[in-house]
Amino acid sequence: MKQKRVTFADIAAYTSFSKTTISRYFNNPDSLTLENQQKIAEALEVLNYRENKVGRILASGKTEFVGILVPNLYMHYYSEMLSQILATYETYGYKFLVFAGNERKDVETHYIQELLAYNIEGLIMLSPTIPSRDLADYHIPVVGIEREHAHICSVCTDNYMGGVQATSLLKKCACDILIHVNSRMTEDAPAYGRIQGFLDTCREHSLPHELILTDLGNTFEENRQRLLTLLEQLEDRYPRQKKGLFLSNDTHANVLLNLLIRKYGQLPPTYRIVGFDNSPISSEAVIPTSTVGQQIPRIAQEAMDLLSMQMNEQKKRRPTPLTKPIHRIVTPVLIPRETTLP
Amino acid sequence: MKQKRVTFADIAAYTSFSKTTISRYFNNPDSLTLENQQKIAEALEVLNYRENKVGRILASGKTEFVGILVPNLYMHYYSEMLSQILATYETYGYKFLVFAGNERKDVETHYIQELLAYNIEGLIMLSPTIPSRDLADYHIPVVGIEREHAHICSVCTDNYMGGVQATSLLKKCACDILIHVNSRMTEDAPAYGRIQGFLDTCREHSLPHELILTDLGNTFEENRQRLLTLLEQLEDRYPRQKKGLFLSNDTHANVLLNLLIRKYGQLPPTYRIVGFDNSPISSEAVIPTSTVGQQIPRIAQEAMDLLSMQMNEQKKRRPTPLTKPIHRIVTPVLIPRETTLP
């Protein structure tokens, strides 16, 4: 199974060039004639030479590694974001060392230390567990995606605009009462913008509304139980009124839709629903569900752009640190489907 | 932003130990007294020392890197498998360099060459694109998961048993006709076992059956269109008969279920459905759907076990290559839910 590695000496012997010439081929190819470059390239092919970047890392100090820490890959939002970040390899050439976190600060801190030990050039943080102040203290380029980012660069969806879009769509359905269901969060979480966008739109147009901040649980079964209870409360509170429901993600919107279908065999005319994210579940639901779409490929692209800008700065002889973090905002796209027909 | 790296000399100066002693702390800590170990550990804390594994790699030739090539992260099966493989870090300590493929052999071959350039110690292949014969020629430890594996080690679900389980479940529903829908594939694809298990079970019990091998497309909308056409054909062919449908994955089973619910407001008594994989969609569907569950955490664990065995062998002075690849099989678990009630 083991195969001896081909060395510069082997290539030199095969081509009758000196080892110095072979070295120049790798480090400064244009110093050789095209003909000689061609000869060496052919030799590499014949000898089945395998480039050893570890040696080059040691010479340059640059690994071309970027670390990624995602909270989980269960939520489609994260697996899709990871997929889009990995795809930037074709543009930027960075390789990705990936860890999936577990909401424990000590464990995730250990993961980051592992990444640093391998000289990652930059870090993309999707996990919200470690405060941005701590991340800034590592003194490496960092970009946070859709998480608290006071002390690091970031890319986020315009959550406020998303909240406005969702609420305006429900307004057009002529609902009697608008209801936004979300989890409790601090105002520095980017997703808080959805709540603010909902409240501002309702107040601006004097629309009757209710904001329900509650923990819907971390598993599907918890989601289902708690949304079932919530649904019973809403039917008690607003029995014959047309209810416009804005859920904070498509998973919750789908659970609610399915509960209604099981009860009524259809989406009753007294319910209108809009979710968030444009996850596959929203289009694949039993009734295709309206949603506010996050532009995940755009967000991944902006994050790598922001990170590579910082990494390139670090490669300079005298890097100029950013005076303050850069925050980029990506516009969401409203996608009306069958659950918000007038 | 840039911070000078702390060196052994800095630690030696701070602790008043020699550089040799500091080196011993990292390479053979038990040769120092506990008290001195403690002193050095405290100094590392104060100096904010960051371990540099790149140097150690060069000394040992071992990177602790494992490469992973997944076909995509869109299918929940792959993102869940990746998640479970990443979680083995806690047990094995290997870090993962991840690439998502695109069904193009030249591109995926380039990814593997990138991984080899970084001295990965082993490779986990979920992507089916590159034949196992080519993978074996790289002469590094490889494990394939649920893909063609004639020339490499592998871990697969017992697809034949899964086919038998699904068919037996439909048999208990007293269906008039059993139908298995799958894609066309060669007999060396592990998933072919599902087809064989279906056929053998039907023949053994003399059950009327039909095998439909067809391409249902690569997007949800293609799936939906083609399954709608298929459904119309089945209603023509078996109008009042009780149809037992075994779909090759939960995504397809869910599309079919939703088409029936949209048409009838419920799952009609003339239809029974079972899927494959135990993807979240199967339990989260409008009617919780019966399925054959793949034990993804078990499969990930077996794959890393098989890979680390080979990687440990490579660390020996005279590694003994495997005389032939090892293939491990993981039993699937039948999960009856509401779509196969008698």
Q: Is the Cβ pair B58, A58 closer than 8 Å?
A: yes
Q: What is chain B's mean pLDDT, rounded? A: 91
pLDDT digit string, tens, across residues A198-209: 999 999 999 999
pLDDT digit string, tens, across residues B141-165: 999 999 999 999 999 999 999 999 9
- Asked if B7 is an interface residue toward chain A (Cβ–Cβ < 8 A), one would say no
Which phi and psi angles does B230 have, rounded to 5°?
-60, -40
B79 vs B142: CA distance, rounded Å: 20
Residues of chain A with CATH 3.40.50.2300: 65-157+297-331, 159-294+334-340
Predicted pLDDT of residue B61 = 63
A21 vs A14: CA distance, rounded Å: 13
**What's chain A's length in residues?**
342
Residues of chain A with CATH 1.10.260: 8-51
In this predicted structure, the answer to whether residue B174 has a pLDDT above a threshold of 80 is yes
Task: Name the CATH topology of A65-157+297-331.
Answer: Rossmann fold (3.40.50)
In this predicted structure, the answer to whether residue B236 has a pLDDT above a threshold of 60 is yes
pLDDT digit string, tens, across residues B15-71: 999 988 888 887 677 788 888 988 888 888 888 776 666 666 655 667 889 999 999
Q: Is the Cβ pair A286, B286 closer than 8 Å?
A: yes
Q: Is the Cβ pair A314, B2 closer than 8 Å?
A: yes
Which of B139, B144, B166 minimizes the C-alpha distance to B252? B166
- Asked if B97 is an interface residue toward chain A (Cβ–Cβ < 8 A), one would say yes
Q: Strands across the sheet with B122-125, in order?
A: A327-330, A153-157, A142-145, A122-125, A65-70, A95-100, B95-100, B65-70, B122-125, B142-145, B153-157, B327-330
Collapsing DSSP to helix, strand or coil, A327 comes out as strand
DSSP H helices in A67-178: 76-87, 89-92, 105-117, 132-136, 159-172
A278 vs A76: CA distance, rounded Å: 10
Q: Tell me the DSSP string of A212-251.
A: EE----SSHHHHHHHHHHHHHHHHHHSSSS-EEEEESSHH
Q: Is the Cβ pair B54, A57 closer than 8 Å?
A: yes
ipTM: 0.78
The answer to whether B85 and B143 have CB atoms below 8 angstroms apart is no
Q: Which amino acid is at A87?
A: A
Computed on alpha carbons and rounded to an integer, the radius of gyration of chain B in Å comes to 26
pLDDT digit string, tens, across residues A271-310: 999 999 998 889 989 999 999 999 999 999 999 999 999 9
Q: What is chain A's mean pLDDT, rounded? A: 91
- The HSE-up count of residue B162 (CA atoms within 13 Å, CB side) is 31
Q: Which residues 6+ apart lie within 8 Å of A244 measured at CB?
A: A170, A171, A173, A175, A177, A178, A179, A272, A274
Q: Is the Cβ pair B73, A80 closer than 8 Å?
A: yes
Predicted pLDDT of residue A2 = 43
In words, the CATH class of domain B8-51 is: mainly alpha
Nearest Cβ partner for A50 among B76, B116, B262: B116
A297 vs A144: CA distance, rounded Å: 15
A100 vs B83: CA distance, rounded Å: 7
Share of chain B above pLDDT 70, in %: 95
Q: What is the mean pLDDT of residues B258-264?
A: 94
Cβ under 8 Å to A: B residues 252-311: 254-255, 258, 261-262, 265-266, 280-281, 283-287
Q: Is the Cβ pair A79, B95 closer than 8 Å?
A: no
Q: What is the mean pLDDT of residues A66-75?
A: 90
Predicted pLDDT of residue B30 = 76
Q: Between B4 and B241, where is the model more confident?
A: B241
> Is the domain B159-294+334-340 a CATH 3.30.56.10 member?
no
B155 vs B153: CA distance, rounded Å: 7
Cβ under 8 Å to A: B residues 30-49: none
Q: Is the Cβ pair B57, A54 closer than 8 Å?
A: yes
A200 vs A198: CA distance, rounded Å: 6
Residue B189 corresponds to which tokens in the numbers above?
A: 């694809």
Lowest mean pLDDT among A133-137, B12-16, B58-62, B216-220: B58-62
Q: Is the Cβ pair B119, A54 closer than 8 Å?
A: yes
Convert A87-113 to b/e letters by CB count within 10 Å (16 or more is b): bbbeeeebbbbbbbbeeeeeebeebbe
Nearest Cβ partner for B52 among A2, A119, A285: A119
Predicted pLDDT of residue B72 = 87
Q: Between B50 and A115, where is the model more confident?
A: A115
Residue B185 corresponds to which tokens in the numbers above?
A: 């594939």
In this predicted structure, the answer to whether residue B1 has a pLDDT above a threshold of 50 is no
Q: Is the Cβ pair B281, A286 closer than 8 Å?
A: no
- Residues from chain B that touch A119, judged by Cβ atoms under 8 A, are 52-54
> Best residue in A50, A95, A263 to probe B by mutation, most B CBs within 10 Å?
A95
Residue B140 corresponds to which tokens in the numbers above?
A: 């590094």
Largest CA distance in chain A: 90
Q: Is the Cβ pair B74, A280 closer than 8 Å?
A: yes
Cα-based torsion angle of the residue sequence B74, A297, B116, A17 in order, rounded to the nearest 10 degrees: 150
Q: Is the Cβ pair A74, B80 closer than 8 Å?
A: yes
- Residue A52 pLDDT class (50, 70, 90 cuts): low
**Which chain A residue has its CA at the smallest distance from B324's CA?**
A1
Q: Is the Cβ pair A98, B96 closer than 8 Å?
A: yes
Predicted pLDDT of residue B2 = 43
> Best residue in B95, B123, B254, B339 to probe A by mutation, most A CBs within 10 Å?
B95
Nearest Cβ partner for B1 among A51, A95, A321: A321
Predicted pLDDT of residue B60 = 63
**Owner of token pair 């609420």:** A167
Q: Is the Cβ pair B95, A82 closer than 8 Å?
A: no
Q: What is the mean pLDDT of residues A139-146?
A: 95
- Asked if B59 is an interface residue toward chain A (Cβ–Cβ < 8 A), one would say no
The answer to whether B125 and B145 have CB atoms below 8 angstroms apart is yes
Predicted pLDDT of residue A53 = 67
Q: Is the Cβ pair A86, B99 closer than 8 Å?
A: yes
Could you say which DSSP state residue B342 is in?
-
pTM, 2 dp = 0.81
pLDDT digit string, tens, across residues A224-278: 999 999 999 999 999 999 999 999 999 999 999 999 999 998 999 999 999 999 9
- Residues from chain A that touch B50, judged by Cβ atoms under 8 A, are 113, 116-117
CA B186 to chain centre: 20
Collapsing DSSP to helix, strand or coil, A67 comes out as strand
Residues of chain B with CATH 3.40.50.2300: 65-156+297-329, 159-294+334-340
Q: Which amino acid is at B228?
A: L
Q: Is the Cβ pair B314, A2 closer than 8 Å?
A: yes
**Owner of token pair 């060669």:** B186
- Residue B286 pLDDT class (50, 70, 90 cuts): very high
Share of chain B above pLDDT 90, in %: 66
Predicted pLDDT of residue B301 = 96
pLDDT digit string, tens, across residues A157-177: 999 999 999 999 999 999 999
Predicted pLDDT of residue A75 = 77
Could you say which DSSP state residue A6 is in?
P
The C-alpha angle B127, B133, B136, rounded to 5 degrees, equals 85
- Asked if B26 is an interface residue toward chain A (Cβ–Cβ < 8 A), one would say no
The C-alpha angle A158, A161, A167, rounded to 5 degrees, equals 140
Predicted pLDDT of residue A54 = 65
CA distances A105 to A110, A127, A307, B8, Å, are 9, 10, 23, 29
CB pairs under 8 A between A and B: 140
Predicted pLDDT of residue B4 = 62
Cβ under 8 Å to A: B residues 122-181: 139-141
- Residues from chain A that touch B94, judged by Cβ atoms under 8 A, are none
- Residue A138 pLDDT class (50, 70, 90 cuts): very high
- Residue A59 pLDDT class (50, 70, 90 cuts): low
**Which chain B residue has its CA at the smallest distance from A319's CA?**
B2
Q: What does CATH list as the number for B65-156+297-329?
A: 3.40.50.2300
- Residues from chain B that touch A89, judged by Cβ atoms under 8 A, are 99
CA distances A101 to A110, A140, A152, A272, B286, Å, are 10, 20, 19, 36, 31
Q: Between B184 and B58, where is the model more confident?
A: B184
Q: Strands B290-293 and B333-335, how do they pair?
A: antiparallel
Residue B96 corresponds to which tokens in the numbers above?
A: 């993962």
Which of A282, A305, A258, A325 minimizes the C-alpha distance to A80? A282
Q: Between A330 and B33, where is the model more confident?
A: A330
